[in-house]
Amino acid sequence: MRKVYKVTTETGDEYVLTYSIDGEYLKFETLSGVYRARILQKGTRDNEFLIEINGEVHRVFIENFNQIIVNNEILRISNIQEKYEEKEVSLQELISSKKGEIISPIYGRIVSLRVKEGDAVVKGQPLLSIESMKSETIISSPISGVIQKILVRVGQSVKKGDILLIIK
Amino acid sequence: MPPFNKILIANRGEIAIRIMRAVKEMGMKAVAVYSDADKNSLHVKYADEAYYIGPSPALESYLNIQRIIDAAERAHADAVHPGYGFLSENAEFAEAVEKAGMTFIGPPSYVMRKIKSKLEGKMIAKNAGVPVSPGSDGPVESVDDAIKIAEKIGFPIMIKASYGGGGIGIIKVENVEELKEAFERSRRLALQAFGKSEIYIEKMAVKPRHIEAQLIGDKYGNYVVAYERECTIQRRNQKLIEEAPSPILDNEKRKELIEASIRFGKAIGYYTLGTMEFVYSEVSREFYFLEINKRLQVEHGITELITGIDLVKLQIKLAAGEYLPYSQEDIKIRGHAIEFRINAEDPLNNFAGSSGYITYYKEPSGPGIRVDSGVDLGSYVPPYYDSMISKLMVYGKDRATAIQIARRALDEYKISGIKTIIPLYKLIINDKDFIEGKFTTNYISEKMPVFLEELKKREEMKVISYLVLYSQSQIKLSFHKEVKSSYRNVDRMSAWKRQGLVMQSTTRVMW
């Protein structure tokens, strides 16, 4: 049975992956591809592991119990949700279940709303702009549909991860 | 004898600290100002004294002239250093400082008024025989005028905020449709960031590179140019990587650049530091004046590395009325320096700003490395201000050596809690075109699709590595929970240990 991991990094990125055992490898699947990975061996230093991912060997260090350094970059994870799949669902479906919710990617202030409730939007159409650190980020619609609800107004501050509006 | 007793630095972050370092070395006292968002910031702790100047939004604090003057008077400062950005090029601020009986470290207000905006600077350059690029000869007030001018000079064009800086309010426009859309947006951004919505239009050069000259002058009409910096690697007209000297400029062109810059300085009686920004086309081997930055430049450090001049100390001395201690022949280029702006931005998300607490911080060090940083472990990066948190500079005997050092330095630099563009720099520094010095200001936008794919792959690899260890029980996320359960036995622990555990079990682990 496959397991589904939902990983949230400290900086708020979400990754949905499926996990299963494939011989001596652990098989992870993301939207961009399949990774066959395993711990090759423990390293020669404390908290060092040699991890093989798709044939490439990476030196991974565990730092302060719950963070890792890999390829000279630090990764801190804030949450991992795991569950066994009841029935086989495609990754696409797992990720897109909440696709109509438009989430703020940054901390900032809403400077303009270009749509109103009930408007029909097409994929790629600009929905609203958020200003942060003196630059404006335009949020475009990832799907085509109808604006069901707008949860923010101009001038309001939003956090990363806040739901801005819902498209049906 | 130091030229002043006490200098107030009307800025924040890394540049405030950079200036304070010079102030302290010269035997003077450094005064910081801070907003609500910055009350625990590094520049506030580093100063000898610090004064609160208002709420977090810049308009109510770092852009509020009266509050800064009040703070300077309370501190009995005898000079004010504006840094870059904020009020650094604001003539009213310079005048308010002068009226309060203090010295403004920069050009005097009457000189600033001659070049209040980028646009006025352009006109002065034209009259001084410095080449300028075609565009609107004045501010553009309406979309219709904008379209007329654009059609006359031909697309693509740039819309620029007359009072702008740091690339804010500059929008590249390819056609009439985009122009209509961008016109109001540019005015709104300009008003928000600089308090004035005036914009103008300029033609875009072919295969442009951005090269600037460091102009230095005293009150008595003496000038030198501490050579050039190349700042071609930009995104959204904001510089990311700068280097000195330029990898493509020959001595003949270098001489032209120096002479044009000095002519400009003399035309308006400019003194202290100024940066003459030019666009240079490798195709036509011509350069056009863009604007003069009437302040200490973000990337001043790389000029310091190759010339051995401390520009901040020199700027303070020149503002105090000292003579320029060098002639042009005394200044030599030695080696090559590259600067990487460490911005709290997510390259995978269109460089959106990333604010938050820094939960992991390791700075590079060792031979050939200089880091001018405004943050440390536990620092808060607020969403209200510029996203640049630090500058990594590397210095080697030539460009190839500098690049080798940069690779190591970028690997050493580790930051968590916020996103930075360090992962992108690691790709650029290994890119063949960058290594060979073949790039234009479009470098980032052209290469980004390839870089994005690689960055995404690397991010996923990191998560997979974590999950491999996690699924094999080598690493536990439940660390926080374990701490909490042992926290129940607190009565049997010493208060120190209890405090330590409480600190560790909160989500923001350190500080």
Q: Which of A62, A68, A108 sits opposite B383 (nearest CB)?
A: A108
Q: Chain-centre distance of CA B360, in angstroms?
A: 23
Q: What is the pLDDT of residue A109?
A: 87
Least confident range from A84-98, B214-228, B293-307, B418-432: namely A84-98
One DSSP character per residue, B385-449 reads S-SEEEEEEEEESSHHHHHHHHHHHHHH-EEESS--SHHHHHHHTT-HHHHTT---TTHHHHHHH
Per-residue model confidence (pLDDT) at position A124 = 82
pLDDT of residue B495: 62
User: What's the rounded Cα separation, in Å, for the pair B169 and B184?
Assistant: 10
Mean pLDDT confidence for A29-36: 90
The tens digit of pLDDT for each residue in B452-463 reads 999 999 999 999
Instruction: List the one residue out of B277, B236, B238 whose CA is nearest residue B260.
Output: B277
Residues of A in contact with B465 (CB under 8 A): 37, 51, 53, 58, 60, 68, 70, 75
pLDDT at B120 over 90: no
Find the largest Cα–Cα distance for chain B. Answer: 82
From chain A residues 107-146, the ones with a CB under 8 A of any chain B CB are: 107-108, 111, 131-137
What pLDDT does residue B342 have? 98
Amino acid type, B83: G
Q: Return the SS3 of B357.
A: strand
For B416, the closest of A10, A19, A51 (CB atoms) is A10
Instruction: Please determine, for residue B308, whether its predicted confidence score (pLDDT) is greater than 60.
Output: yes
User: Does the beta-carbon distance from A131 to B192 stay under 8 Å?
Assistant: yes
| B111 contacts: CB under 8 Å, gap ≥ 6 | B268, B269, B270, B271, B294
Taken as a whole, chain B contains a residue count of 511
Establish if A32 touches chain B: CB-CB under 8 angstroms.
yes
CB within 8 Å: A60 and B355: no
Nearest residue to B14 via CA among B299, B225, B250, B281: B299
pLDDT at A2: 85
| DSSP-derived pairing of the beta strands B79-81 and B6-9 | parallel
In chain B, which residues have their Cβ closer than 8 Å to the Cβ of A67?
360, 416
Please write the tens of the pLDDT for every residue from B54-86.
999 999 999 999 999 999 999 999 999 999 999
List, for residues A131-164, the tens digit of each pLDDT value.
888 778 888 888 888 888 899 999 888 887 788 9
Residue of higher predicted confidence among B281 and B16: B16
Whole-number percent of chain B with pLDDT over 90: 74
Q: What is the pLDDT of residue A103?
A: 84
**Structure confidence at residue B496 (pLDDT):** 63
Instruction: Collect all residues of chain B within an 8 Å Cβ-Cβ radius of residue A131.
Output: 192
Question: What whole-number distance in Å separates Cα of residue B442 and Cα of residue A168?
Answer: 38
| pLDDT-wise least confident of A13-27, A137-151, B88-102, B491-505 | B491-505
Scanning A87-106 for CB atoms below 8 A from B yields 105-106
ipTM of the complex: 0.79
Q: What are the chain A neighbours of B462 within 8 Å (beta carbons)? A: 68, 70-71, 73, 75
* The predicted structure's pLDDT at residue B1: 87
Find the DSSP H helices in B269-398.
300-307, 311-319
Residue A98 pLDDT: 61
Q: How far is B220 from chain A (nearest CA, A)?
A: 38
Is residue B382 over pLDDT 50? yes
Q: What does the alpha-carbon distance between residue B406 and residue B394 come to, in Å, rounded to a whole number?
A: 6
- Give how far A17 is from chain B: nearest CA, Å: 9
Closest Cα of chain A to B16: distance in Å?
18
> Residue B141 and residue B199: Cα distance in Å, rounded?
8
Q: Rg of chain B's alpha carbons, rounded to an integer?
A: 24
Check pLDDT > 70 for residue B45: yes
Please state the rounded mean pLDDT for residues B321-348: 96
pLDDT digits (tens, 9 = 90+) for A36-55: 999 999 999 999 999 999 99
Task: Output B295 or B485, whichever has higher pLDDT.
Answer: B295
Catalytically active residues of B, by annotation: 295
Q: What is the C-alpha to C-alpha distance for residues A138 and A124, in angstroms, rounded to an integer?
A: 11
Of B97-111, B138-152, B251-265, B313-327, the one with minimum mean pLDDT is B138-152
* φ, ψ dihedrals at A97, nearest 5°: -60, -30
* Nearest chain A residue to B422, by CA: A73
Provide the whole-model pTM: 0.85
Q: Does A30 touch chain B (CB under 8 A)?
A: yes
